[in-house]
Amino acid sequence: MAKVIYPGTFDPITNGHIDIIKRAAELFDEVIVTVAKNPSKTCLFSIEERIQMLKESLKDFEKVRVDSFDGLVVDHAKQVGAVGIIRGLRAVSDFEYEFQMALMNRKLSSGITTIFLMPHEKYTYLNSTIIRNLAQFKSDVSDFVPQAVVRKLKEKFSH
């Protein structure tokens, strides 16, 4: 059974993330969407809130499950028995960082392969920071994120 992880902060998950998850689910037997506990990032949503939004947004994906981890991505991949790490590439600007991370992950664990997937072009400009900024100023983000996220963003910024 070929299992992969798709790690990220998902603060919040966007339709671009979901497009990558859908593509990965077409290629692998199981996709574990893994919420990273990244101490260098300040997140709008707690780990629990992000997991809840992911589970609600991905409930119709039979081959996908949601998890979280604290530590190195390759260690988590080994722990869950994954053969690879899915990474999304939206633009050339993503490539240099992702390439460095893929090489480091290969050095740390040669048995784990990094797989780069590109989202549909209609999502290439999307990222979680843009979504948070739009929502903060009460813009409609319903074209860019699942309904579970729309609701949570409205709750966060309703004050």
Among all residues, which ones are annotated catalytic?
17, 41, 90, 128
Give DSSP secondary structure letters for 20-75: HHHHHHHHSSEEEEEEE--TTS--SS-HHHHHHHHHHHTTT-TTEEEEEE-S-HHH
Q: Which residue has the tokens 């997140």?
A: 43
Tokens of 24: 């990965």
Cis peptide before 12 (omega within 30 of 0): yes
CA nearest to 8, candidates 95, 59, 73: 73
